[in-house]
């Protein structure tokens, strides 16, 4: 048979048709279709989280000084979620967005995975992984060299660890090494603690018993903007089922001001003056606590100094200098409002006045801290429930007195590099913000020859970033112990990465309450992920490598054994319940607790007594820049959605930042619509922000809640380190770069609350 | 169709008469059709299933039967509910090491297990015959504790097997053949000793029969 | 509101959010991200493509300084019951793939990612912008995949996702109840992650049909309202605010219309 083309086509078609029919009668197409559908639903790059036994590890958050209790949910060996720990005294079951994001630090791309040595230029980001032995010998060699040159005091350690065993180890290390230069950031608490010292003679930590107060008069404290223990947010704000009365004095409508019963929009920098105006009304109307003032205070009435000279007392000073009309003129708060606030404050059962701008990142002005503290004294709430307490710092860290060699004794005899604890600033423990200028203006070699940094990111947080960087360039050796690639780690010579707080034991000291200071124990939630090492163990190792008295002073086997030894009898309690309380307060023990020469609360004002901390000339806290060239006032603000300090915002927190704060890589500046109109600026305009210290490109955001003439930038943006995948790199402006420090004449603390600025349209 | 055919089609003057009459080629067509039909049926019914599944063996040939003889609580002894009501599934190595710290029998598979896994503290990568895609939430508690179903009613008598059966992995979807069922056509019922198929329709069918409703999506999806 | 529905819904889980308490901290959002494997991108400032199951919206009263007020409005999926509580929520009724449905045992609206093919009709239909589309495949850099929860399936590019009232928590609570041979869940046994995380306890969650649950009373608070009530989507998320301008923002009102009055009209129609 001849198969022609036609037949072939017919046959072929029939074969295909038969195949089609046959296929349809077989499971093949149906099964393939089903399998392909399943295949498309399970792409190999979509992760499938492994299931397993669920468990919870109770620990404590170490991302801010709040020390809230956390409960970490685990699936097998993985940590999958951090939640608030119910019944923990700090946090009370609540947790802020930062604490909730903790696992992103643990597993995130910003981790330093092994000790690193710089191979490129500083800040270039070229690293060579080295062994722990090599890393420790890098540091110990440098430190040995400084001692050999008889310059042990040129070693400085910037430490974020403020209390507890790690802080004790760092202090001890520098002591036996021979350097007085432990440097820590000062916060609003330092100013407030010092105010309490000046008036009550007590050294310790001030806490306001907000838990038991029913009326809070806040001079700018961001009680609901984060940075304060979250337990304090409970009971706030006022709602149908009760709550506390809150009056917020602030130039910008913050989240705290938004929740307040009354928002008092005082001119920025004059909040303390308003406090004195309120004091004036209380005194004039005799609505202060007369009993407390008469029996337990001195310096209230005028006194006789000897001869004919009259020492002006607080009463006549306030009555003379802080008349409501004048205060109203300075603060912009109506006279009626001043009277009203004073009366409400005075008549409330348990009222307390608090201060510290935002998260309290800047120590602030002593006059202001004292003014607010005086207000509490007028209320008579010192050491009363719902009032102000000074709690002695917990003293559970007690190391035996170490032996020291001659070099160490010589070094310790030198003055501190930052001028703290000096004749000029005897009561201030640390003045970190002064360091850059001191290094930059030093003749010859930098007074700091080696810098160690732990738990801090000074290149980001110290004001006037440019001069900070310049000063760091003059330090020949910088070592960082950061677990993350932060700005300072990037700029160091060697990184000895610490564990994160989720990988190791650590004691965390929280702020106090009536029931005492809470000391919690952070526990290893997961095994260390990378080749990192506990800072405590590293200090012990470095001490070993240095030998001699230093080695002897650190004769512990490991940090963990030291921890157990330190808590001794309390170890059982702290490991089982997660925390212990120390130094509980007994209310009303005023008379026995004041430690001033008069054994009374001293209104220490300087009319006629120049050494007194309070200046009766106090009107407005100074600000840098001239109004001519810089017509606007720039204020930084804190937000609970931005980690403004250390460490930087995790991706989850960056995700919840409003698009009126950050737009793509542009930081937004808040400006009142009326001011914007004058400047012919509208929403979304790109502008150049200039201050005497620097300039930056920002985007306009019109916000009714910011005072006309004032512009506001958030803290916590403008990072130039961490991983790019971290999602914060190069976004927005670091407001610290635009502001310089302003020195308080009494304490030396930085009191810069703002800076003069101008906006120019690009 | 060729171009000339097209010309015929569009030009009415060109009739069929221009071509010689066609001899019927029906038988050719039929024959070819049958070749296609039979061929594709063979492919679809016999070759395709062989091609679709690649065969894998468990790392250890596990003898369920011998374990059943030695435990007190049946399946529950190893595949238990945790306190929180979740189901433990395939046991971890730690569950085995209670007994198998050292070789206790004479089975070479056990010796392999002890030397290669227990001694090295390495988890066995068991192949799960019943693993569902990630989007599926299955509550063992609802079925076993809540509805009082036995393990066998879905998993068959795997608990009495003396050897681990071959794991057949679908090369397209990556899931075990047990989910679809061993009958590629899904006609008829699975054997008495076999596990039940576990596709969504199988769940829905049983739910409809037992509870009167197929249930809402979230009942079984996550 | 009349509680007897034409279609029996055994439980109707819902939420009452006290806006007077909410400080806008965002803990609910972050807790939700961590609970539900919500991904993040390098840039999240375009809020139109930023995936959130609950988002906290900032509202102001538009008054000049210093009379300005702000109020934060946390917005999860409203889990609409639909007109007459038939389960015809706006999204469910338009989905061509049955990738979202209404569960009559809990009143919760589901979203099945593997079933969704990304047409986004539901997003267009939802008046609350509760639904979000995955324009990209999610990426968890470094070791971040390790923190993913096995209880919620990670999504892929091209599908819609939304708040589920943490349905997996309901499932886990039920598993526990089975284990303890209990038929019913306690009120505190099933709480979504956002509610649990709220540091000021502004959110209350429970069965709106159950008189023993706190939400039963709270939803009838004199300052309680729901968003866009006149659309009759019947949301199961209620808000409480003592401020009238806030309640007014909950819907479109004529200048002479008071928010309270409109609500009573909507009530009467049921």
Query: Hunting for tokens 């091609």 — which residue is that?
Result: B51
Give the nearest chain A residue to B41 (CA atoms): A22
**A613 CB contacts (<8 Å, ≥6 apart)?**
A194, A195, A198, A366, A370, A604, A606, A746, A747
Taking a C-beta distance cutoff of 8 angstroms, is the pair A27, C127 a contact?
Answer: no
Determine the pLDDT at residue C86: 76
Is pLDDT above 60 for A104? yes
Give the pairing of strands C70-75 and A662-663.
unpaired
Q: Could you tell me the residue ranges of all domains in chain C?
A: 13-269
What's the pLDDT tens digit per position in B147-164? 999 999 999 999 999 999
pLDDT of residue A609: 53
**A223 & A182 share domain:** no
Q: Helix A366-379 and helix A271-284: axis angle, to 10°? A: 30
| pLDDT on residue A229 | 60
Nearest residue on chain A to B176, alpha-carbon basis: A35
State whether ipTM is beyond 0.90. yes
Per-residue pLDDT of B135-145, as tens digits, reads 999 999 999 99
The CATH code of domain C13-269 reads 3.30.70.20
Considering the domain architecture, whether residues A748 and A729 belong to the same structural domain is answered as yes
Residue C269: the pLDDT is: 44
For strand C224-225 and strand C237-240, is the pairing parallel, antiparallel, or unpaired?
antiparallel
Shared-domain flag, residues A181 and A33: no
Q: Is the pLDDT of residue C203 over 70?
A: yes
How high is the pLDDT of residue C174? 96
Query: What is the pLDDT at residue A676?
Result: 97
Q: B139 and chain A: CB distance < 8 Å anywhere?
A: no
How many domains is chain A built from?
Answer: 4
Name the closest residue on chain B to residue A53, using Cα atoms.
B88
Q: Spell out the residues 6+ positions from residue C239 whose beta carbon is closer than 8 angstroms to its own.
A: C16, C17, C18, C19, C73, C224, C225, C226, C227, C246, C250
Does B65 fall in a domain?
Answer: no
Distances in Å between the alpha carbon of A507 and those of A51, A227, A394, A504, A571? 32, 19, 12, 10, 11
Of B135, B142, B146, the CB nearest to C112: B135
List the single best residue of A56, A258, A716, A724 to mutate versus C (max C Cβ within 10 A): A258
- A509–chain C Cβ distance below 8 A for any pair: no
A504-517 average pLDDT score: 85
pLDDT tens string A54-67: 999 999 999 988 88
Q: Which of A192, A190, A193, A194 is nearest to A612 (CA)?
A: A194
| Dist. CA A216–CA A210, nearest whole Å | 7
Residues A405-422, mean pLDDT to the nearest whole number: 95
Domain that includes residue A356, residue range = 209-391+588-602
Q: Does A236 touch chain C (CB under 8 A)?
A: yes
What distance in Å separates the CA atoms of residue A748 and residue A435, rounded to the nearest whole number? 12
| Residues A312 and A427 both lie in one domain | no
- The per-residue pLDDT for range A585-643, each reduced to its tens digit, is 776 655 467 888 888 999 877 654 556 788 877 888 889 999 999 999 999 999 999 98
The reported pTM is 0.94
- What are the residues facing A207 on neighbouring strands? A389
Indicate whether A613 belongs to any domain: no
pLDDT digits (tens, 9 = 90+) for A460-471: 999 999 999 999
Task: Give the pLDDT of residue A516.
Answer: 82
pLDDT in tens, C56-113: 999 999 999 999 999 999 999 999 998 876 778 999 999 999 999 999 999 999 999 9
| Domain residue limits at B191 | 54-58+127-219
Residues in contact with A126: Cβ distance below 8 Å, sequence separation at least 6, in sequence order: A118, A119, A120
A730 touching chain B per CB within 8 A: no
Angle (CA) B168 B173 B177, round 5°: 30
Q: What is the pLDDT of residue C90?
A: 95
3-state helix/strand/coil string of A607-642: CCCCCCCECCCCCCCCCECCCCCCCEEEEEECCCCC
Report which of residues A481 and A577 the model is more confident about: A481
In Å, how far is C168's CA from the nearest CA of chain B?
7
Whether A455 and A340 map to the same domain: the answer is: no
CA distances from A457 to A14, A464, A524, A635 (A): 78, 14, 24, 22
Chain B: residue nearest C113 by CA?
B135
**pLDDT at res. B13:** 52
CATH number at residue A655: 2.40.40.20
Helix B26-42, helix A5-24: angle, nearest 10: 40
Do residues A219 and A316 share a domain? yes
The encoded tokens of residue C222 equal 């004199």
Give residue C5's pLDDT band: very low, low, confident or very high (50, 70, 90): very low
Contact flag B135-A41 (C-beta cutoff 8 Å): yes
- Clarify whether residues A249 and A340 are in a common domain: yes
Does residue A287 have a pLDDT over 50? yes
pLDDT tens, position by position, A631-652:
999 999 999 999 877 789 999 9
What single string gives the DSSP state of each residue in A389-446? EEEPPP----PPPPP--HHHHHHHHSPPTT-TTSSSSTT-S--GGGHHHHHHT-SSS-
Residue with tokens 């009898």: A569
Minimum mean pLDDT range among A381-395, A681-695, B55-69: A381-395
Q: Do C23 and A48 touch (CB under 8 A)?
A: no
Region A70-83 average pLDDT: 97
> Partners for B (CB, 8 Å, 3+ pairs)?
A, C
Arithmetic mean of pLDDT, C185-198: 96
**Shared domain check, A550 and A444:** yes
Which A-chain residues 21-60 have CB contacts (< 8 A) with chain B? 21-23, 25-28, 31-32, 34-36, 38-39, 41-42, 46, 48-49, 51, 53-54
The pLDDT tens digits of the residues spanning C110-157 come to 999 999 999 999 999 999 999 999 999 999 999 999 999 999 999 999
- Phi and psi at residue B65, to the nearest 5°: -55, -45
CB contact under 8 A, B137 and C171: yes
Q: Do C112 and B142 touch (CB under 8 A)?
A: no
- Output the pLDDT for position A232: 62
What does pLDDT average to over chain A?
Answer: 92
Residue C189 CA to chain centroid, in angstroms? 19
Q: How many domains does chain B have?
A: 1
Same-domain check for residues A317 and A432: no
**Do residues A458 and A566 both lie within one domain?**
yes
SS (HEC) of A124-156? CCCEEECCHHHHHHHHHHHHHHHHHCCCHHHEE
pLDDT value at position C4? 38
Q: What is the mean pLDDT of residues A402-429?
A: 94
Q: pLDDT, tens digit, for every residue of A255-285?
A: 999 999 999 999 999 999 999 999 999 999 9
pLDDT tens-place string over residues A111-124: 999 999 999 999 99
Contacts of C138 (CB under 8 A, 6+ apart): A46, C39, C154, C155, C156
Say whether C164 and B218 touch across the interface (CB within 8 A).
yes
Which residue in C102, C104, C153 is closest to B222 by CB distance? Answer: C153
Tell me if chain B has a CB within 8 Å of the CB of A77: no
**Per-residue pLDDT, A308:** 67
For A7, the closest chain B residue by CA position comes to: B25
Mean pLDDT of B20-45: 84
Give pLDDT, residue A346.
97
Higher pLDDT, A394 or C243: C243
The whole-number pLDDT of residue B1 equals 45
Say which residue, A41 or C163, is predicted with more confidence. Answer: C163
Question: Is residue A566 domain-resident?
Answer: yes
Shortest distance between the Cα of B106 and any Cα of chain A, in A, equals 32
Using CB atoms, which residue from B84, B133, B221 is nearest to C176? Answer: B84
- Asked whether the beta carbons of A345 and A302 are under 8 A apart, the reply is no
Which of A43, A664, A673 is opposite residue C43, by nearest beta carbon?
A: A664
Query: CA-CA distances (angstroms) from residue A339 to A320, A327, A352?
Result: 16, 11, 17
| CATH number of the domain enclosing A349 | 3.40.228.10
Which of B84, B88, B172 faces A39 most closely, judged by CB atoms?
B172
Are A703 and A639 in contact by the 8 Å Cβ rule? The answer is no
Is residue C2 scored above 60 in pLDDT? Answer: no
B88 neighbourhood in chain A, CB within 8 Å: 53
More confident position, C52 or C258: C52
Cβ contact (<8 Å) for C44 and A654? yes
pLDDT at A303: 79
pLDDT band at B16; cut points 50, 70, 90 = very low
How does DSSP assign chain B, residue by residue? --HHHHHHHH-TTS-GGGSPPPPP-HHHHHHHHHHHHHHHHHIIIIIHHHHHEEEE--SS---HHHHHHH-SSGGGGTS-B-TTS-B--SPPHHHHHTTTTS--SS-HHHHHHIIIIITTT----PPPTTPPPTTB---HIIIIIIS---SHHHHTTGGG-SSPPPEEEETTT--BHHHH-S-TT--SPPPTTSPPP-SHHHHHHHHHHHHSS---GGGTB-
* Residues A335 and A457 reside in one and the same domain: no
Q: Is A61 on the interface with C (CB under 8 A)?
A: no
Q: Which residues of C touch A224 (CB under 8 A)?
A: 23, 25
Position A150 in a domain? yes
Quick check: helix, strand or coil at residue A706? strand
**Contact residues, C window 110-129, toward B, CB-based 8 Å cutoff:** 110, 112-115
Task: Indicate yes or no: CB of B133 within 8 angstroms of CB of C114.
Answer: yes
Same domain, A379 and A504: no
């Amino acid at each position: 048979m001849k198969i022609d083309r036609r037949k072939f086509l017919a046959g072929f078609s029939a074969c295909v048709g038969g195949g089609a029919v046959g296929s349809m009668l077989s499971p093949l197409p149906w099964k393939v279709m089903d399998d392909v559908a399943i295949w498309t639903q399970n792409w190999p790059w979509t992760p499938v989280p492994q299931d397993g036994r669920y468990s919870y590890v109770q620990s404590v958050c170490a991302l801010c000084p709040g020390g809230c209790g956390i409960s970490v949910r685990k699936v097998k060996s993985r940590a999958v979620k951090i939640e608030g720990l119910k019944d923990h005294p700090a946090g009370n079951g609540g947790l802020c967005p930062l604490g909730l994001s903790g696992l992103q630090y643990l597993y995130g791309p910003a981790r330093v995975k092994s000790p690193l040595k710089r191979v490129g230029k500083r800040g270039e980001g070229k690293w060579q992984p080295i062994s722990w032995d090599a890393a420790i010998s890098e540091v110990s060699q440098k430190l040995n060299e400084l001692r050999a040159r008889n310059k042990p005091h040129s070693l400085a350690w910037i430490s974020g660890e403020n209390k507890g065993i790690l802080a004790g180890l760092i202090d001890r290390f520098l002591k036996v090494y021979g350097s007085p230069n432990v440097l820590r950031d000062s916060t609003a608490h330092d100013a407030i603690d010092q105010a309490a010292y000046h008036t009550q003679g007590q050294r310790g930590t001030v806490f306001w018993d907000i838990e038991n107060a029913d009326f809070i008069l806040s001079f700018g404290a961001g009680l609901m903007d984060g940075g304060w223990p979250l337990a304090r947010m409970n009971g706030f704000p006022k709602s149908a089922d009760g709550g506390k009365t809150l009056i917020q004095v602030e130039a910008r409508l913050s989240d705290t001001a938004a929740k307040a019963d009354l928002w008092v929009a005082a001119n920025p920098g004059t909040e303390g003056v308003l406090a004195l105006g309120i004091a004036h009304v209380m005194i004039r109307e005799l609505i202060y606590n007369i009993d407390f003032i008469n029996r337990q205070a001195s310096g209230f009435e005028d006194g006789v100094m000897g001869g004919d000279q009259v020492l002006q007392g607080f009463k006549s000073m306030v009555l003379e200098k802080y008349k409501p009309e004048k205060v109203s003129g300075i603060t912009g708060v109506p006279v009626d409002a001043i009277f009203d606030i004073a009366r409400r404050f005075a008549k409330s059962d348990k009222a307390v006045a608090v201060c510290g701008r935002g998260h309290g990142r800047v120590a602030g002005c002593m006059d202001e801290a004292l003014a607010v503290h005086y207000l509490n004294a007028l209320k008579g709430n010192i050491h009363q429930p719902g009032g102000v307490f000074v709690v002695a710092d917990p003293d559970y860290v007690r190391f035996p007195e170490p032996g020291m060699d001659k070099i160490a004794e010589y070094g310790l005899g030198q003055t501190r590099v930052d001028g703290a604890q000096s004749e000029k600033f005897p009561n201030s423990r640390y003045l970190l913000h002064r360091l850059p200028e001191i290094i930059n203006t030093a003749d010859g070699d930098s007074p700091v020859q080696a810098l160690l940094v732990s738990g801090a990111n000074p290149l980001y947080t110290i004001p006037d970033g440019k001069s900070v960087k310049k000063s760091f360039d003059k330090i020949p050796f910088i070592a960082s112990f950061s677990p993350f690639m932060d700005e300072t780690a990037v700029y160091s010579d060697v990184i000895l990465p610490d564990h994160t707080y989720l990988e190791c034991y650590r004691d965390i000291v929280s702020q106090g309450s009536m029931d005492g200071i809470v000391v919690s124990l952070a526990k290893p939630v997961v095994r260390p992920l990378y080749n990192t090492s506990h800072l405590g163990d590293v200090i012990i190792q470095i001490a070993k490598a240095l030998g001699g008295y230093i080695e002897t002073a650190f004769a512990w086997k490991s940090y963990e054994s030291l921890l157990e030894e330190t808590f001794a009898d309390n170890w059982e309690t702290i490991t089982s319940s997660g925390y212990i309380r120390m130094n509980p307060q007994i209310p009303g023990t005023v008379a026995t607790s004041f430690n001033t020469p008069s054994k009374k609360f001293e209104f220490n004002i300087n009319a006629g007594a120049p050494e007194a901390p309070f200046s009766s000339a106090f009107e407005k806290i100074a600000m840098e820049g001239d109004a001519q060239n810089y017509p606007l006032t720039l204020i930084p603000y804190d937000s609970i959605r931005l980690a403004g300090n250390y460490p930087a915002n995790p991706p989850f927190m960056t995700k919840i930042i409003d698009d009126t704060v950050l737009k793509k890589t542009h930081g937004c500046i808040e400006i009142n619509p009326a001011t914007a109109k004058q400047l012919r600026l509208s929403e979304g305009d790109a502008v150049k922000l200039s201050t005497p210290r620097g300039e930056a490109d920002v985007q306009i955001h019109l916000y009714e809640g910011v005072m006309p003439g004032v512009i506001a930038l958030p803290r916590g943006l403008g990072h130039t380190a961490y991983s790019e995948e971290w999602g914060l790199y190069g976004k927005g402006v670091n407001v610290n770069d635009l502001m310089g420090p302003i020195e308080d004449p009494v304490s030396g603390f930085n009191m810069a609350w703002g800076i003069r600025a101008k906006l120019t349209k690009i | 169709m060729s171009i000339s055919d097209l010309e015929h089609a569009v030009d009415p003057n060109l009739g069929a008469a221009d071509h010689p009459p066609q001899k019927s080629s029906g038988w050719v067509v039929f024959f070819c059709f049958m070749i296609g039909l039979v061929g594709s049926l063979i492919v679809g019914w016999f070759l395709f299933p062989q091609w679709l599944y690649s065969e894998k063996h468990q790392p250890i040939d596990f003898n369920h039967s011998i374990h059943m003889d030695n435990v007190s609580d049946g399946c529950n002894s190893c595949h238990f509910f945790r306190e929180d009501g979740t189901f433990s599934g395939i046991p971890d190595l730690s569950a085995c090491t209670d007994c198998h710290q050292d070789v206790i029998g004479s089975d070479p598979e056990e010796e392999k297990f002890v030397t290669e896994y227990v001694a090295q503290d390495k988890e066995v990568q068991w192949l799960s015959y019943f693993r569902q895609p990630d989007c599926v939430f299955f509550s063992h508690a609802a079925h076993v504790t809540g509805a009082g179903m036995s393990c066998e009613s879905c998993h068959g008598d795997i608990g009495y097997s003396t050897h681990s059966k071959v794991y057949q992995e679908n090369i397209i979807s990556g899931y075990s053949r047990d989910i679809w069922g061993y009958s590629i056509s899904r006609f008829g019922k699975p054997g008495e000793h076999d596990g039940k198929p576990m596709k969504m329709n199988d769940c829905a069918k049983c739910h409809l029969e037992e509870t009167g409703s197929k249930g809402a999506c979230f009942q079984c999806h996550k | 509101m009349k509680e007897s529905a034409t279609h029996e819904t055994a439980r109707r889980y819902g939420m009452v959010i006290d806006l007077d308490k909410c400080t806008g901290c965002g803990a609910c959002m972050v807790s939700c991200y961590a609970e539900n494997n919500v991904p993040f991108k390098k840039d999240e400032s375009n809020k139109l493509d930023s995936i959130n199951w609950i988002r906290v919206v900032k509202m102001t009263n538009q008054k000049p300084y210093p009379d300005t007020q702000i109020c934060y409005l946390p917005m999860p999926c409203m889990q609409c019951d639909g007109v007459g509580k038939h389960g015809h929520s706006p999204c469910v009724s338009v989905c061509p793939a049955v990738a979202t449905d209404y569960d009559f045992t809990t009143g919760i609206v589901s979203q099945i990612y593997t079933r969704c093919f990304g047409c986004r009709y539901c997003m267009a239909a939802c008046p609350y912008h509760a639904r979000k589309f995955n324009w990209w495949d999610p990426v968890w850099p470094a070791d971040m995949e390790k923190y993913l929860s096995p209880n919620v399936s990670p999504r892929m590019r091209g599908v819609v996702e939304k708040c589920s009232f943490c349905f997996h928590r309901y499932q886990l609570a039920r598993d526990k109840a089975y284990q303890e041979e209990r038929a019913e869940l306690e009120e505190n046994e099933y709480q979504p992650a956002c509610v649990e995380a709220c540091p000021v306890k502004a959110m209350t969650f429970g069965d709106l049909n159950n008189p023993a649950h706190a939400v039963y009373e709270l939803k009838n608070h004199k300052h309680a309202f729901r968003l866009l009530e006149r659309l009759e989507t019947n949301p199961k998320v209620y808000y409480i605010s003592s401020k009238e301008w806030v309640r007014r923002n909950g819907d479109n009102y004529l200048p002479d219309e008071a928010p309270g009055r409109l609500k009573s009209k909507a009530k009467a129609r049921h």
